Chains A and B, each alone.
Chain A
Amino acid sequence: QKEVEQDPGPLSVPEGAIVSLNCTYSNSAFQYFMWYRQYSRKGPELLMYTYSSGNKEDGRFTAQVDKSSKYISLFIRDSQPSDSATYLCAIPNTGGFKTIFGAGTRLFVKA
């Protein structure tokens, strides 16, 4: 079983839709949870990170962690064509010397 599982998609939605991106993980000791966004032909950039369980909101983006289910989510409200990218969940191990990435979900937002 992979430590972090993520559906690679692709996911195609119309402009203005609410997008839900999800990952599951296997190690209950993980504490920090991150989402990176990667545009085509670019390196990933940190979008959001959360610590432990709960929600964190930043503009149109909400990151949610459910530690009891080992499930993390990223919600995008009022999606825009500029949100079209690959979204990767990422979980640093204890000590932070290794970050485990999901496979990434390709998102297309159609105008």
Chain B
Amino acid sequence: EAQVTQNPRYLITVTGKKLTVTCSQNMNHEYMSWYRQDPGLGLRQIYYSMNVEVTDKGDVPEGYKVSRKEKRNFPLILESPSPNQTSLYFCASSLSPGSNEKLFFGSGTQLSVL
């Protein structure tokens, strides 16, 4: 089944404790992206990747890191999480970066930073 898989689904952590949210897609997609979703603000892009080893900042990259060493994986790293990073996170992918390309989303990771 074609899908984007995120783990974990739920995560509670404390301020400053490094964490990684994994994202994997099995559709051989070139483009991958991370979003955070907050009430009233919608989905905001954190980082995106056009292909392996090619990543760039989105609208809200502060406090986050990403890497794209393999085509299928695009982990999101929070080196020192803070409470304002409490949010619902989504990984998404598309076949290629194009204006008419459909985004496929994972099921989300609900992160709480205490």
Binding site for B on A (CB under 8 A): 6, 8, 31-32, 36, 41-46, 49, 51, 88, 90, 92-99, 101-104
Contacts and interface: CB of A to CB of B under 8 A. Distances in A.
Contacts of A88: 42-43
Given A42-B107, A42-B108, A92-B99, 9 more contacts: A32-B99, A36-B103, A41-B108, A44-B43, A92-B98, A92-B100, A96-B96, A97-B56, A104-B43
Interface string B11-30: 00000000000000000000
Interface residue range, chain B: 20 to 34
A78 B89 CA distance: 33
Interface of B: 4, 31, 33, 35, 39-45, 48, 50, 56, 58-59, 90, 92, 94, 96-103, 105-108
